């Protein structure tokens, strides 16, 4: 009978329970107890090797131990169903990747979900402990009863690459604030878990921390701290509780933003996004309205890819102060006033010149804004319309309205070429082939084009109105010419028009 504990055999037997080994070492304080523990260890060892146990259990017995008495992480075979379940918790509501009640199972190297009454893991809901990158414990918003979500992000899933999308999704499941019901906990570690099962939080925190550390991938479980960030919007269902989330939209999907100590999380619907602080290049505020605003987070993509922008819209203006404090406290860059961001605020129709428009191209060359160019075009169009109206109103455009002018031309009054009524004279001379208005015709030929003689006669009222409006125009020699009797000439001119 040996006087020392058989530490090697005890370590092989209780490889998954280092706490038992530690308890045996404390209790073995006499030769009798040491002998008893060695006999128990020898008996259990023989049962495992010679009692017809599965080969999987025999293989696990041979797993080496670390110097501190804890077992080394076994190299995973890649199949979670091959490993014995150390702990399982029934009736857990999973929302991502699937929305259904499952059993959450923990093995030496995996955590997975399985349907009640089965032993096979659900495809797509199996995660290796060594691959877990982030783990969160966050309250579920807009619930009358207090509930929390556990969120597990495997590696390369918090900000998925656009070129290489991940093959696995994060895990999200919900637990109430109460203690687990009797009979919901099972597995070889159920007795140890019973001591920490006052609430679902204490149970899962203990189990996750234990398994992650055993896998050499120790990560803290991150929770929201209302003292570091909280929303000022009051929750109608729980008015006395400060909300640690901000409601918003990403595209057409609603969700919640959590501003945490290590990054910003968007949940809890697909696709879940977590932006670590070290991946945030800058934050900008856009579409700032009286009630809401948008937040754009620019992230480092890595792998030579350009930075990506994630926009979260319809955030309440009341939460702007808290978000801005979070940005400043974590020394994040605010690019809301950057020139590139200002350019993006322009309306789509003002971002470039209109195609096919020479005026717009000329405006671009001058460097003016689109609004100034549009104003200049409008003023130019008004000026063109006024010029066109003046051309249409030209007295010389009506061949039958200036009979007196024809009379003056026929009587040899060459001085009428300098009168203010030269336009009418010019039109008449052009029709009759005269030469007295050639000079005025050369000056006005670009603006006034004579109409054919066969133009329909205007109504009498309109003709009289035009004659009346044109009388004050005549001055000097024109008035003397018009004082002559012109009845015959007018009749002759009207006769030609008919």
pLDDT, tens digit, for every residue of 405-443?
444 444 444 444 444 444 444 444 444 444 444 554 454
Q: Which long-range contacts (C-beta less than 8 Å, at least 24 apart) are formed by 47-56?
A: 48/13, 56/82, 56/83, 56/84
More confident residue, 6 or 187: 187
330, pLDDT greater than 50:
yes
Domain presence at residue 63: no
Q: Name residues whose C-beta falls within 8 Å of residue 96's C-beta, 6 or more positions apart in sequence.
A: 169, 170, 171, 172, 268, 269, 270, 272
Clarify whether residues 295 and 308 are in a common domain: yes
pLDDT of residue 335: 87
My answer on whether omega of the bond before 18 falls inside 30° of 0, hence cis, is: no
Q: Give the CATH number of the domain where residue 246 resides.
A: 2.30.29.30
Domain presence at residue 141: yes
Q: Tell me: the pLDDT tens digits for 108-152?
A: 999 999 999 999 999 899 999 999 999 999 999 989 899 999 999
pLDDT of residue 267: 95
Domain stops at, among 347, 365, 398: 347
The C-alpha atoms of residue 134 and residue 160 are separated, in whole angstroms, by 14
Residue 142 belongs to what domain range? 82-223
| Pair of tokens at residue 301 | 């993509």
Q: What does residue 348 show for φ and ψ, rounded to 5 degrees?
A: -60, -35
Cβ(135)–Cβ(150) below 8 Å: yes
Clarify whether residues 119 and 206 are in a common domain: yes
Domain presence at residue 468: no
280, pLDDT greater than 90:
yes
**Three-class secondary structure of residue 83 per DSSP:** coil
Domain presence at residue 461: no
pLDDT > 90 fraction of the chain, expressed in percent and rounded:
43
pLDDT of residue 38: 82
The C-alpha atoms of residue 318 and residue 52 are separated, in whole angstroms, by 68
The C-alpha atoms of residue 401 and residue 406 are separated, in whole angstroms, by 10
The C-alpha atoms of residue 181 and residue 155 are separated, in whole angstroms, by 33
Clarify whether residues 199 and 232 are in a common domain: no
More confident residue, 70 or 442: 442
More confident residue, 54 or 328: 328
Q: Position of tokens 């070290």?
A: 278
Q: CA 211, 212, 213: angle at the middle one, nearest 5?
A: 95
pLDDT of residue 472: 47
My answer on whether omega of the bond before 97 falls inside 30° of 0, hence cis, is: yes
Clarify whether residues 212 and 244 are in a common domain: no
Domain stops at, among 347, 372, 388: 347
Domain presence at residue 449: no
Region label for 306, one of left (φ > 0), alpha (ψ between -120 and 50) or beta (otherwise): beta
273, β-bridge pairs: 266
Mode of pairing for the β-strands spanning 110-114 and 100-106: antiparallel
The C-alpha atoms of residue 302 and residue 163 are separated, in whole angstroms, by 12
Clarify whether residues 32 and 124 are in a common domain: no
Domain presence at residue 482: no
Which pLDDT band holds residue 338 (cuts at 50, 70, 90)?
low
Q: Which residues of 48-64 are buried (b: 16+ CB within 10 A; e: fewer)?
A: eeeeeeeeeeeebbebe
Clarify whether residues 20 and 141 are in a common domain: no
Average pLDDT on 45-61 reads: 51
**Three-class secondary structure of residue 265 per DSSP:** strand
More confident residue, 223 or 353: 223
114, β-bridge pairs: 103
Number of structural domains in the chain: 3
The model's pTM is 0.57
Clarify whether residues 209 and 142 are in a common domain: yes
Cβ(373)–Cβ(359) below 8 Å: yes
Distance from the Cα of residue 444 to its chain's centroid: 62
Q: Tell me: the pLDDT tens digits for 2-33?
A: 468 888 778 778 776 777 887 888 888 888 88
Q: To the nearest whole number, what is the mean pLDDT of the chain?
A: 75
Q: Which long-range contacts (C-beta less than 8 Å, at least 24 apart) are formed by 160-166?
A: 160/271, 161/301, 161/303, 161/305, 162/305, 162/308, 163/305
Clarify whether residues 99 and 214 are in a common domain: yes
Domain stops at, among 316, 347, 378: 347
Mode of pairing for the β-strands spanning 222-223 and 132-139: parallel
The C-alpha atoms of residue 287 and residue 295 are separated, in whole angstroms, by 9
Clarify whether residues 313 and 303 are in a common domain: yes
Q: Tell me: the pLDDT tens digits for 101-110?
A: 999 999 999 9
End-to-end CA distance of the chain: 147
Clarify whether residues 252 and 218 are in a common domain: no
Closest by CA to 284, choosing from 276, 275, 293, is 293
Clarify whether residues 195 and 242 are in a common domain: no
154, β-bridge pairs: 132
pLDDT of residue 428: 45
Q: What does residue 188 show for φ and ψ, rounded to 5 degrees?
A: -70, -20
pLDDT of residue 388: 64
């Amino acid at each position: 009978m040996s006087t020392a504990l058989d530490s090697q055999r005890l370590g092989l037997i209780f490889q998954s329970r280092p706490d038992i080994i530690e308890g045996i070492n404390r209790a073995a304080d006499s030769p009798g107890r040491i002998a008893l523990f060695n006999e128990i260890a020898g008996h259990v060892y023989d049962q495992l090797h010679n009692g017809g146990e599965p080969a999987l259990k025999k293989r696990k017995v041979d797993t080496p131990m670390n110097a501190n008495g804890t077992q080394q992480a076994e190299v995973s075979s890649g199949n979670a169903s091959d490993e014995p379940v150390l702990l399982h918790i029934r009736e857990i509501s999973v929302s991502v990747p699937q929305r259904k009640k499952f059993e959450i199972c923990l093995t030496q190297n995996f955590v997975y979900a399985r349907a009640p009454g089965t032993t096979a893991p659900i495809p797509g809901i199996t995660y290796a402990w060594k691959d877990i990158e982030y783990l969160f414990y966050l309250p579920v918003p807009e619930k009358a009863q207090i509930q929390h979500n556990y969120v597990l992000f495997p590696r390369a899933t918090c900000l998925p690459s656009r070129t290489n999308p991940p093959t696995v999704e994060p895990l999200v499941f919900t637990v109430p604030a109460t203690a687990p019901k009797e009979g919901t906990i099972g597995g070889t570690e159920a007795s140890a878990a019973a001591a920490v099962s006052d609430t679902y939080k204490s149970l899962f925190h203990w189990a996750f921390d234990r398994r992650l550390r055993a896998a050499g991938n120790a990560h803290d479980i991150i929770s929201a701290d209302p003292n570091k960030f909280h929303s000022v919007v009051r929750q109608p269902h729980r008015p006395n509780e400060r909300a640690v989330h901000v409601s918003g939209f990403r595209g057409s999907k609603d969700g919640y933003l959590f501003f945490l100590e290590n990054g910003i999380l968007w949940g809890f619907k697909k696709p879940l996004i977590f932006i670590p602080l070290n991946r945030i290049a800058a934050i900008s505020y856009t579409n700032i309205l009286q009630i809401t605003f948008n937040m754009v987070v620019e992230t480092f993509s890595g792998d030579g890819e350009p930075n990506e922008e994630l926009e979260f819209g319809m955030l309440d203006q009341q939460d702007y102060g808290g978000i801005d404090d979070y940005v400043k406290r974590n020394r994040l860059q605010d690019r809301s006033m950057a020139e590139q961001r200002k350019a993006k605020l322009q309306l789509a129709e003002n971002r470039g010149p209109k195609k096919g428009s020479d005026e717009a191209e000329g405006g671009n060359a001058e460097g003016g804004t689109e609004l100034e160019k549009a104003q200049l075009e409008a003023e130019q169009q008004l000026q063109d319309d006024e010029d066109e109206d003046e051309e249409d109103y030209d007295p010389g455009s009506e061949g039958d309205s200036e009979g007196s002018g024809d009379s003056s031309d026929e009587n040899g009054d060459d001085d009428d070429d300098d009168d203010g009524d030269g336009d009418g004279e010019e039109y008449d001379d052009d029709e009759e082939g005269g030469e007295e208005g050639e000079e005025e015709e050369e000056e006005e030929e670009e603006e006034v084009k004579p109409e054919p003689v066969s133009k329909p006669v205007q109504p009498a009222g309109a003709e009289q109105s035009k004659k009346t409006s044109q009388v004050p125009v005549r001055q000097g020699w024109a008035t003397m010419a018009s004082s002559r009797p012109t009845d015959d000439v007018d009749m002759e001119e009207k006769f030609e028009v008919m």
